[in-house]
Amino acid sequence: MFMMKLENYSKNKVGQREYLNDSMTNDLTRELHSYFETGVGIPRIKHGKRQTIETLINEEALLFAKYLRNERKSWIPRITTS
């Protein structure tokens, strides 16, 4: 599942790092992508329909950036708790 690799941190320092093997990395990536494609019941900004978690994250980042640039007076996350 995990494998150790030696890495050079600096000219005189070598350390070990632990990595997932290729098979587990592929599984994790596939499952994470599947999770981000899960639908949520929060309407999109422009279309007003259900959206995926990935789209929601992108829209919240956009709204927060607008707030930071003073293009919006407030920012309240549209994320609900379950």
pLDDT of residue 80: 64
**Structure confidence by residue, pLDDT tens digits, 34-43:** 999 998 888 8
Q: What is the pLDDT of residues 44-76, one digit of tens each?
A: 888 777 889 999 999 999 999 999 999 999 998
- In whole angstroms, give the CA distance from residue 28 to residue 30: 5
State pTM to two decimals.
0.66
Q: What is the CA radius of gyration of the chain?
A: 20
CA–chain centroid gap for 16, Å, is 27
Q: Is the pLDDT of residue 17 over 90?
A: no
